[in-house]
Amino acid sequence: MAPVFVDFDRVCLAYDAASGNAVEDITLRIQQGDFVAIVGPSGCGKSTFMKLCSGLRAPTQGTVVVGGREVAGPLTIVGMAFQAPNLLPWRTTLDNVLLPLEIVEPYRSNFKRKRAEYAERATALLKTVGLESSEPKFPWQLSGGMQQRTSICRALIHEPKLLMLDEPFSALDTFTREELWCVLHDLWAAKRFTVVLVTHDLREATFLANRVYCMSGRPGRIVAAREIDLPRPRDLETTYTDKFTQIVHDLREHIGRIRKA
């Protein structure tokens, strides 16, 4: 069994005294190399969980341990991608992917000297997501799906041990979204970094994750965990199987009960 990589122990977070806890009494463990998804109703604290996990917010109570160390600030071992790609419009695809290496140590100190080596790494990563000919293009020359692929490559370029994804595909059309599920699945299968995916899409969570956690309404608590015992590797044909449909249905029932509670 892989070692525990993310460890939440009775974690609460209140943004201010007046609003009360955003998340409350969260205890869970994520093993190294695991792929988990967090689902729940809007405002339940899914993004707050992400901030706690990456060190962007400190808990009001409890402890968050990542990689064997208690989190005391933003972590450089984390890569992050969001709903909006947030690519810099004046930078090419290649330069957008290279951006973390310009600002994150130990790469920053060596960036000028090793730029050619880093560019080769970025090119190889872009090739894995089908963007091998897009290095010189600017964001406005890319489709939405291509921009999101670039964003994922940027999150992975410094080889993070933990990848945090906050609704990364929700703004895309169905066909592009499902195509990127497969891209992400294959990247994870090849690299086996630890992934935490925050999503509203129960099909997405079921297709990608090994385990899905359901959160309650505010204050967010983990109220259910479902192991996704679908075989890997997975392709889109998996989404048409009876077992896949049953898992999605079970998760939807959990969320429905949460909404009524």
Provide the residue ranges of all domains of the chain, joining segments of one domain with +.
1-72+199-261
pLDDT tens per residue across span 176-205: 899 999 999 999 999 899 999 999 899 999
61 SS3 class: strand
Place 91 in a pLDDT band, splitting at 50, 70 and 90.
Answer: very high
Average pLDDT of the chain to the nearest whole number: 91
In Å, what is the CA distance from 194 to each residue of 66, 77, 78, 141, 209? 11, 11, 10, 32, 11
Tokens for 255, please give them: 């969320």
- CATH number for the region 1-72+199-261 comes to 3.40.50.300
On the 0-12 / 13-18 / 19+ scale of CB atoms within 10 A, 154 is buried
pLDDT confidence tier of residue 261, bands split at 50, 70 and 90: low
CB of 88 closer than 8 Å to CB of 138:
no
118-162 residue pLDDT tens: 999 999 999 989 898 999 999 999 999 999 999 999 999 998 999
What is the model's pTM?
Answer: 0.91
